[in-house]
Amino acid sequence: MAIIKFINNNATLKTSLNYVMKEEKTEKKLISGKDCIAENSLNEMIATKKQFKKYQKGRDKIHFIQSFSPNDNLTYELAHEIGLKMAEHFKGFQVVVATHIDKKHLHNHLIINSVNFENGKKFQQSKADLAKIKKLSNDLCIKYGLTITDEKAKVDDIKINELKSRQKNESWKYQLEKDIITCMEKSNNKFEFFSAMNSLGYKVTWTKERNNITYTTPEGKKCRDRKLHQEIFLKENMEKYFKEKSIKNFKTIKENKKYYANSLTQILIHLLKQKEDEYFEALYKSNIEYGTNAKKEYARKMSYSSEELEM
């Protein structure tokens, strides 16, 4: 599953390119340019704008993110390849594709020059264009054997102020997302999740009557699941996550019980056999009235011959 999110902000082309190519977020091999060299993309894109006398006029770039589901078994290289396939859709536009690997979910950033290097026309982005891009992403997911999502996303787009806060590591929503993921990983069910979130100072409102989960931060700020920009945080997906985790844990416990039960049985059998052997040995050595029969039985149990016992 891949979700397309368009970033609507006033960040400059230079700022956006610097951000998506940060060393701590990606690797050099996961940064590529379409119709430009990634390392020199800023200069090449500016040259295109100047050529058609559209430098510093209006929007200078288009920026969107293609996020993949953590459930898809996707390598860094394959995610990047899909991003490059997406870039081919923008004919006549220079594009930089950077695959970020610093989060649990892989995602591609695509920075598109707003001016077409073939005809000088500015990039147009209608609702129909957005739908085509999302459909293209779904088509690529199908081609590469990934799951797909509905064309209409169930979560809100990232707004300009939120993106700027994330870039500065000042976003309380981003911190909330990280804390939710941490608590999800160490919880076996939603009740343990509530407890883990409470220990961090959060209040979680998750009821059957409500369609959404609402989080209240330690500072008193409230946020619904659909405002967190990732579908993994939606109520139905969270319920599915903990249900699958509970089933997996139950199977593990059941298998462990079976293993330990079998082990205990083997131990008891061994102890009983040991006690039985000790009994027959004691019976033989006691030389009581039934000594002859005891000798024979002891010989049979210990795989001795009667003759050996006579020695």
The string of pLDDT tens digits covering residues 254-268 is 565 555 566 666 777
Question: According to the model, what pLDDT value does residue 40 have?
Answer: 97
Q: Is the pTM of this model over 0.85?
A: no
- More confident site: 219 or 304: 219
Report the pLDDT value the prediction gives residue 306, as an integer from 0 to 100: 41
Res. 304: pLDDT tops 60: no
Counting Cα atoms < 13 Å in the Cβ hemisphere of 225 gives 20
pLDDT, tens only, 155-188: 555 555 665 666 666 788 889 988 999 999 889 8
- The domains found in the chain, sorted by start residue, are 2-153 (3.30.930.30), 174-242 (no CATH), 253-310 (no CATH)
For residue range 238-249, what is the model confidence (pLDDT) as tens digits?
898 888 887 877
- For 46: left if phi > 0, alpha if psi spans -120 to 50, otherwise beta; the answer is alpha
